[in-house]
Structure 1
Amino acid sequence: MTSFPNINSLQAASTTPAHIIQSDAEAIEIAKQLAEQFRKNTVQRDAERILPFDEIEAYSQSGLWAITVPKAFGGAEVSSDTVAQVIALMSGVDGSIGQIPQNHFYALEVLRNTGTAEQKQKLYAEVLAGARFGNALAEFKTKTAAQKQTSIRPHDDGFVVNGEKFYCTGSLFAHRIPTLVKAPDGREYLAFIARESAGLELIDDWTGFGQRTTGSGSVKFHQVAVPATDVIPFDHAFTEPTLVGPFAQIMHAAIEVGIARAAFEESLRRVHQARPWIDSGLDLASEDPLTKYELGRIAADVRASEVLLKQAARAIDAARPQPNAENIAKASLDVAKVRAHSTETALKAASKLIELAGSRGSQREDGLDRFWRNARVHTLHDAGRWKYFFIANYLLNGVLPPRRGTL
């Protein structure tokens, strides 16, 4: 376990302003180039748990971490489909790198909905220059996941934060840690806490068997002072009709779609290298009819997940100009469909990869197990079985799904 209190090296690392992407097409092209770059050493990073500091610096400096900044504030404001494609591309080459910016974009979406114009101007400008936001949302010492103990209280002309968070994905790479806090009156806020703040402690204690290099350690807050200008409402993002929930979830779905597609593509390569099953009587594994059957099923499922992902992205973008209860619910349900399907598809495609590769697929140096391990750990964020429940409850009884980031 490594502790990272008051790290200033990351602040100095981004002294050169990041590139500013101008369009959806440019974002996709840059993502494709970076994905190929990140493909190198991905097995080694996972096996030895080498945190991708250089890769994440290149990722944010490319301008991709600013693609959701609204055009009014100087960003490209790309479509949800483009965001999903970028995340899927990255997740296909490295599931950890694919997940790291998810909470960054999530925080920016909360800011879009509940921040003041002055707060948006300040924080969006930081992101356009190359700043990275992590997260400190989840807690593990409460009875339920909905309960939060990390507190924010007035202090001088600002606030002070105390508490402890877990599963803080991306925090080790971040310049700010958006932290979910509760005020004495019970209201919830998101505090964009600067990394160099006194009393902030980052701990590299993530031991998950998958998504091993996401920087998802713990964060502790010991009387951390936060300016009032860095605190925005959080609860309003869900009590009001906003896209924060479905947007958060489509990024999770994109991670799984990316892993599923990459696992399937790797399966095709491995089958060409595998020996045929002895009972097939064939000379090539690629001619085995039962192998073809399994690959055909996976191909259909992967494509279905990709189509559902695009459908969900379009529903989000259709609701964005004038969000209301009805179109937010439609977007949430479309996202729930891909979220449920991509969960099952990623797990199945990753498992079939090892099965169809044969005994050779179990060799540690190939790291084929990383696809399943990454998918299994990531899909634990929330249960696919509840996605199906909300879909059916709406179709049968007209009950709108809840507004939250876990649908």
Structure 2
Amino acid sequence: MTATNVHTAPTYLRPATATDAELSARFQPVFDRVAEGSVTRERNRVLPHEQVRWLKDAGLGRVRVPVEFGGFGASLEQTFVLLADLAEADANVAHIWRNHLAFVEDRLNAKPSESNNRWIQRFLDGEFVGGGWTEANNGTFASLKTTVRKVDGRWLVNGAKFYATGSLYADWLDVLGKGDGDAVLTALVRRNHPGVRLVDDWTGFGQRTTASGSAGYTDVPAEDGDVFPAAERFVYQGHFYQTAMLSVLAGITRAVRRDGISALKARGRNYPHALDPEPAADAQLLQVIGQVSVHAFAADAALRASSRTLDLIAAAHAAGDEVARKQRVLEAEVATAQAQLAIIEAALQATTTVFDALGASGVSENLSLDRHWRNARTLASHNPRVYKARILGDWLVNGKDPVPDLTRFGRGGQGD
């Protein structure tokens, strides 16, 4: 990365140059390695530190960084499809990457500066960012108790967070806090500072190894270039976080298709009232697997369609076209909500109905097929899909702006 290249454009964003084949050739072998042992890790709550390191070494953290700066030049659509590929291998590992990839996107959208140049270099060096937005103890964005304030000329972070996904694997933590007055600030702090306390106390029945637990901060310092107003974060940030979660759900749906096929082939006997004594030749059981494949197809198609709308926002922002950007944010809001409804429904249906093709043997703990439903149900609970169809209908029928007013009640965080 050179200073000349960085300062010839208003952001670090560039048109995508990667091909699907190139990205698959680089990352799919690593994803295949991650898949090995995923059932054992899930069953025994073994944190995938080694697997995350493989992905760092392969460069997943810089996949969106343009080639001219040392990355791989992937589009957002390609990035989210890659994340779904990883989720097919291990849904926990894929979810760990959500906050890091979002912060990379944030810095790519930012104005070139020496501090942002350093962040691009950190991404190239494999440094990893974990999350720290959601307030502990049911706090909201409207009632932030975490503070980011200057004391004797130094920025210090104090507070408590939950849903700190990926933090145990991180080098840096992305923390949201209250500044002076009504200012809300983002601070990036070193994970290994003695004032940082991370606890793997996530009690959810799914996504057990994502380290989505508690984080505490006591006088943790941040450098001047690593503190900036939260209002300056990239405009499609909420869409990005949601789409990352949808990528994991799409990957889970594919994994159900894969495991359902394997389990049906392995069945040794069938019921007396079945259509064929061989389960793999029973037309009704084949129909179940066929329907599961439809759910996987629908999830993949919805993911690609919605993530393409984010590429359009990024292109408008890079071009400085604020009129187009505003319109594309609205279009992305609609597409992301539609994708959320479609993908969650596909994932929950697939992870439930697959058992209709498998009989009692399908519930064996040795197969751990229940992990797919548990993980899908957990991810689906992070954001309120129950409201989305109503909002879409109000937009389509009455023209009511579907872009949410995040100040109305105060948000809990990126995913709650």
TM-score, L = length of structure 1: 0.88
Residue type matched to 2:366 in 1? Answer: E
Residue type matched to 2:135 in 1? Answer: E
1:294 equivalenced with 2:288 (yes/no)? yes
Distance in structure 2 (CA, Å) of the matches to 1:301 and 1:393:
27
Measured against aligned partners, the alpha-carbon deviations of 1:102-121 in whole angstroms (never above 9, x if no partner) come to 11011222333356522221
> Do the aligned partners of residues 259 and 163 (structure 1) sit closer, same or farther apart at CA in structure 2, a change above 3 Å counting?
same
**Displacement over 4 Å in runs of 4+:** 143-146, 403-407
Distance in structure 2 (CA, Å) of the matches to 1:357 and 1:158:
61
- Contact 1:393–1:399 under 8 Å retained in 2: yes
Distance in structure 1 (CA, Å) of the matches to 2:281 and 2:294:
19
Map 1:101-112 onto structure 2 (within 5 A): 101-112=97-108
1:95 equivalenced with 2:96 (yes/no)? no
Partner in structure 2 of residue 245 of structure 1: 238
* Residue number among 165, 170, 174 corresponding to 1:174 in the alignment: 170
- Contact 2:61–2:123 under 8 Å retained in 1: yes
Map 1:117-266 onto structure 2 (within 5 A): 117-142=113-138, 144=140, 147-237=143-233, 242-266=235-259
Gap runs ≥5 in structure 2: 1-15, 318-324, 407-413
1:81 equivalenced with 2:77 (yes/no)? yes
Distance in structure 1 (CA, Å) of the matches to 2:278 and 2:398:
52
Partner in structure 1 of residue 305 of structure 2: 311
> Do the aligned partners of residues 112 and 401 (structure 1) sit closer, same or farther apart at CA in structure 2, a change above 3 Å counting?
farther
1:354 equivalenced with 2:355 (yes/no)? yes
Partner in structure 2 of residue 6 of structure 1: none
> Do the aligned partners of residues 402 and 187 (structure 1) sit closer, same or farther apart at CA in structure 2, a change above 3 Å counting?
farther
> Do the aligned partners of residues 145 and 389 (structure 1) sit closer, same or farther apart at CA in structure 2, a change above 3 Å counting?
farther
* Residue number among 50, 58, 81 corresponding to 1:54 in the alignment: 50
Identity of aligned residues (%): 27
Deviation at 1:235, TM superposition (A): 2.3
Deviation at 1:144, TM superposition (A): 4.7
Deviation at 1:28, TM superposition (A): 2.4
Measured against aligned partners, the alpha-carbon deviations of 1:68-122 in whole angstroms (never above 9, x if no partner) come to 2244533233111111111111111111001111110112223333565222211
- Contact 2:289–2:354 under 8 Å retained in 1: no
Distance in structure 2 (CA, Å) of the matches to 1:342 and 1:248:
15
Partner in structure 2 of residue 387 of structure 1: 388
* Residue number among 253, 264, 272 corresponding to 1:271 in the alignment: 264
Distance in structure 1 (CA, Å) of the matches to 2:29 and 2:201:
32
- Contact 2:286–2:357 under 8 Å retained in 1: no
> Do the aligned partners of residues 77 and 147 (structure 1) sit closer, same or farther apart at CA in structure 2, a change above 3 Å counting?
farther
Aligned pairs, number? 384
- Contact 1:114–1:233 under 8 Å retained in 2: no
Gap runs ≥5 in structure 1: 1-20
- SS at structure 1 position matched to 2:316: coil
Deviation at 1:281, TM superposition (A): 4.2
Partner in structure 2 of residue 65 of structure 1: 61
> Do the aligned partners of residues 219 and 351 (structure 1) sit closer, same or farther apart at CA in structure 2, a change above 3 Å counting?
same
Measured against aligned partners, the alpha-carbon deviations of 1:21-61 in whole angstroms (never above 9, x if no partner) come to 98344332222111110111111101111111111111111
Residue type matched to 2:147 in 1? Answer: S
> Do the aligned partners of residues 145 and 180 (structure 1) sit closer, same or farther apart at CA in structure 2, a change above 3 Å counting?
closer
> Aligned-pair RMSD on alpha carbons?
2.2
Partner in structure 2 of residue 283 of structure 1: 277
Residue type matched to 2:374 in 1? Answer: R
- Contact 2:131–2:173 under 8 Å retained in 1: yes
Residue type matched to 1:331 in 2? Answer: A
Distance in structure 2 (CA, Å) of the matches to 1:271 and 1:343:
24
TM-score, L = length of structure 2: 0.86
- Contact 1:142–1:149 under 8 Å retained in 2: no
Partner in structure 1 of residue 326 of structure 2: 325
1:367 equivalenced with 2:371 (yes/no)? no
**Range with greater deviation from structure 2 (127-136 or 357-366):** 357-366
Deviation at 1:257, TM superposition (A): 0.3
- Contact 2:83–2:247 under 8 Å retained in 1: yes
Residue type matched to 1:234 in 2? Answer: A
Deviation at 1:143, TM superposition (A): 5.2
Measured against aligned partners, the alpha-carbon deviations of 1:176-213 in whole angstroms (never above 9, x if no partner) come to 01111121322222211111223111112122211111
1:376 equivalenced with 2:370 (yes/no)? no
Distance in structure 2 (CA, Å) of the matches to 1:22 and 1:365:
43
